Each structure stands twice: as structure tokens, then as C-alpha cells.
Structure 1
């Protein structure tokens, strides 16, 4: 990421699905050796990408969320990952994760954000800028507990989401995170190799469209899902639980759509880093045409 005349300029990014939270259930869990190895490999790729873009160590941030928060062996896993990254790892609290995600979402959109949600693998963060909730409703967690049983996922989600209904008092509802981004990609039929955040950022996602996509995808076999445009193969087994949670949230809020933002937790961290250096960022230059096909 660069900064020109007060605006962040998107240069490159990467997404490597390592499924660190594999095996997570209702409570705490142990990170498996296999999951840790996958995650170390992903961190190594991220470091290579940063090196290739000449990002200095002092300009890098290494943070972790629910996958480490709820792990018994978090200290061991963190030390292993720090060795690969060459950076200290900060494990965010649920409040810190939600507030940073909100800041990223609010920064990326010009409209007032009344409520945001960030659906990850282990948890779902929801907040209005003043109050934040971190709920155990992540896509990987739901898949581990209920598979693709949409009714069970919906019931479990509705019980936990009842407490966030009071947060919404109008304004835009903004969604961030991997599931939301994938839904936008699938609805727009954007091939994975053509991903660029500027192509899906700001997309209006309608509940009816998600429900239709959910029903259609649920009928496909694992092999058939590999051919779905916009769906990463690594998300094929968690996309149904993820979409079911989003639909449940929209039902609880009694709204029929939300705005997707590609500005999430990482962007919130970026804005904070800029603030600490006295850099006032006013917006983002996505430069879609300049980085065709780059991820």
C-alpha cells in the first residue's frame, strides 16, 4: 500500500486460506500441527509479497484474531508464526478486532456506517462505532458444529444475534470479511484470477440474492463447486454456513440488503498506523486498471 497526496494507493494484496481454526467448536480448541503448517506457509508467502514490494519491517504489522484467541496452544503457535514472519504477533481482543474492522469499513465508504459486520472463520464481529460484539458465529466454527444444515445454523445464529438488534438505529449496514467478499465475487461472476478489491468494493448485496445463491450452491457437489465463478476452492466447504449466518443477521436487523466493503480489519490497522505517524489519509485510490489480474 502506498500513500500519495493523502490517499492510500492499492498496490497488491494476497489471500491464503490456511484454515488455522480447523476443528474449532463451541469453546476453546487446539491448533493442529497440520493447520499450523499451512498457516506458516501462508505467512511465508505474505512475507515474500511484502519483500517483493520493498515494504520495510517497521512498515509491517502482524496481528491475529479469534483463531488464536480461543486456542489452548496459542502461545506456541504464535512463537512459530513469529519465527516465519520475523515480526512480533499481536493477538487482538474481540473488542479490538471489532473496533479496527469498523474503522476500516467506515474509512472505505463515504456514507455513514450505522452498523458493520465482519464474518471470519471463528467469529462474527458486529458494532455501531461505540458498542461492539464478538460472537462465536464464524464460518469455520459453524461448519464444524452444524455442517451445511442451514436451519440449525440459522437457529444458533438467531439466538446469539438477538443481543445486537439494539445496535442498529439507521444508516448503512456494511459487511466485510472473506464470506462477504466471496458472495460479491460470485454474484458478479468475477473469476478468482481477476480479483481486485476495486471490483467488489461498495457492492450492494441483497438478501434475496444471497438466499438464491445459497440454495443453488447447496445443491452442488464439492467437485461442482470448483467450477463456480468467484468461489475459491478453499472456501467451498464453508461458504454455505457463512452465507447462512449473513442471512440470519439481515433477518434479525429486518433489512433486505447491505453494502460490501473490501476495507476491513487490515485497513483499520493501516489507518491507525498512518495516524500514529501524523499522516492524514482521506481516501483510497484502487487503480483497478493498473493492476489487472494482480492479487
Structure 2
């Protein structure tokens, strides 16, 4: 099966073999290929309401490469989900036409609720058995952040999507390089208001374990661990304290994009927005009263693959 997650900042591919259902519910996927490209599809969407032509073209180039990989590996089924940026765009039809032409499959512009369900499924399958339930799963994307509360037995109990992604918050508030204290304060106030609404709706403060997904979280965790290179195996299911997250966030917000790039775990396409992503994570932990976060390298991409079972 081939799963593609096209978000506001990145587009990712997973080609995997699904386990035989008779093996049991905890049997893992067998990865054949995982790839990620930063295409910044949501460039300027918060301001203009439209997908930029150059952003669509960057996405097309990455998608064409993915289509070649899918064909080479012989995937029998393909599902592509597009999230926050394409929900917001007035010219979403241009994007859909490009995907159909390039991939041969139409993208599904999933709702916030569906995005949350897929993220939860991908994150919770394979969590250590000693992880206490219920879980609050947060998927910090480029345009939005999904908040999902649930457990292994019942799945998703409640979910909500808020427009506080790392690209959106950077474009809305963090204009300096590095951002000013006034810009950081404005971003923090915006994020806190959205987080409080989300935690009241799901309700997140009743959860026992916070699970964090997507590149902002995994990059912060990699930095907190002092890794000298990005190592998914060491990041996956690592638990990091609030104090460590707060320290990394302050450090990132105090640096220029060029200084952030000097960190060996930093993806070049993430350096300008990682400060906002870290800030979203820190504020969620504060407002939810979470002393730590468990990072997961498995997320909506894995959920999309499982949906093809």
C-alpha cells in the first residue's frame, strides 16, 4: 500500500506491506519506503487564501518522484490525503487537477476530524504497553494542530483541529529573524487561546499521557536529546520533560534561521518555522499540565496506510 500525506509544510510518502489481519491488532507495518520533502504548499495561504503557483509546482515535482517510487515498488493501492492548506485555499481545484495528472489518483481533502482520527490511529498502534491511558495525541502541522483524546480499546473519543500550525503562526506573528519579544508574546497569546478552546472541547486535561506527532515535535525531541544526527529510532517513543521542551523552545526562538540550521538534526526546510512549532508544543504542555511528552515517528501517514487494510 502507498500512503501520501500532503500538509501545509511537507509532503510525505510511505510504501508498506500491511500485516495479515490474523496476526493480531498490534502487528506492525513493514516499511518499504519512507520519504519526506519540504514543499511549503501552504506558503501565504493564511494571508491570501490561495495556493501560490510556485508552491503547487514544488509539490508537483516531489509528487512525480513519489509516483515513480510507488510504481517501482508495485503498490496495489494508493491513498493521498491533503490537509490544512488545501482546506483553506480558494484555488484548491488547481491543486486537485495537478495531483490527478501527476499521481493518477485524486487527493482527498480530509476534514479536521478525519485528520485527527488518522493521526490517532497511526500514533497509538505500537505505543509501549505501559503508556497510561487515556492519551492526548497532538499533531502539530504547518497550518493546523489536531488534538485527539482516546484510548486503545475505544479509539478516538473526541477530536478538534485548530489553526495554530508552525507555518501559520510564523507568517502571522514571528516576522523577525530572530523574532522580537513582542512578536513571541503575540504568538503565545494566540496559541494559548486556541489551546484552551481545544482542551476544553476534547477534553485534554483529563488525559494521562501526551503523545506528540510531526516534525516540530520530533525535531524538538532530537535537540533535547542532544543528538548529533536525526535518528528516528532514538526519537520514536522518547519521553522528554516539560523543562527540556521549554529550554529548547527558548533557545530556538532566540536564534536566527541560519543559527538553527547549524544544528545537525535540523531539516533545512524547517529552520524558519521550528520556533513557532516548538512554541505550540510548549504552550500545549503548559495549558494541559503535562510534565512530559512522548514523541512518535508514526502519525497520520501510518494512519492513512492502516486505513487501506
Alignment TM class, shorter chain as reference: 0.7 to 0.9
Q: 2:136 aligns with which of 108, 112, 115?
A: 115
2:78 counterpart of 1:60: yes
Aligned equivalents of 1:145, 1:55: Cα separation in 2: 42
Residue 235 of structure 2 is aligned to residue 200 of structure 1: yes
Per chain length, whose mean CA-contact separation is higher, i.e. which structure has more relative contact order (CA < 8 Å, sep 6+)?
1
> How far is 1:3 from its partner?
4.1
Q: Deviations over 1:39-58 (max 9, x none)?
A: 11121222233234x132x3
Consecutive unaligned residues in structure 1, runs of 5 or more: 275-295
Q: 1:175 aligns with which of 212, 216, 220?
A: 212
Aligned partners of 1:189 and 1:230 also within 8 Å: no
Superposed CA deviations along residues 200-245 of structure 1, whole A, max 9, x for unmatched, are: 1101122211221122223333322221121111101100011111
Q: Write out the 4+ residue segments of structure 1 that deviate beyond 6 Å after TM superposition.
A: none
Q: How far apart are the structure 2 equivalents of 1:161 and 1:92?
A: 22
Task: Give me the whole-angstrom Cα distance separating, in 1, the residues matched to 2:295 and 2:17.
Answer: 23
Whether 1:47 and 2:67 are equivalent positions in the alignment is yes
* TM-score of the aligned structures, taking structure 1 as reference length: 0.85
Q: Out of 153, 176, 186, which is 2:223 matched to?
A: 186
The answer as to whether partners of 2:221 and 2:245 remain within 8 angstroms in 1 is no
Is residue 153–residue 245 contact of structure 1 (8 Å, CA) maintained in 2? no
Comparing 258-267 and 207-216, the one that deviates more: 207-216
Q: Is the 8 A contact 1:200 1:260 kept in 2?
A: yes
User: Unaligned stretches of 5+ in structure 2?
Assistant: 1-15, 150-155
2:146 corresponds in structure 1 to: 125
Give the 3 Å change call, closer, same or farther, for CA 218–191 of structure 1 in structure 2: same
Deviations along 1:239-287, one digit per CA (max 9) or x if unpaired, are 001111111111110112111111111111222211xxxxxxxxxxxxx
2:180 corresponds to 1:146? no
Kept in 1: contact 2:222–2:265 (CA 8 A): yes
Q: Structure 2 length normalisation: TM-score?
A: 0.81
Asked whether the equivalents of residues 249 and 282 of structure 2 are also in contact (C-alpha less than 8 Å), the reply is: no
Could you tell me which residue of structure 2 aligns to residue 89 of structure 1? 107
User: Do the aligned partners of 2:214 and 2:297 also contact (CA within 8 Å) in 1?
Assistant: yes
From the superposition, tell whether residues 7 and 210 of structure 1 become closer, same or farther in structure 2 (CA, over 3 Å): closer
> Match for 1:226 among 249, 253, 261?
261
CA RMSD of aligned residues (A): 1.9
On the 8 A contact 1:24/1:144 being kept in 2, the answer is: no
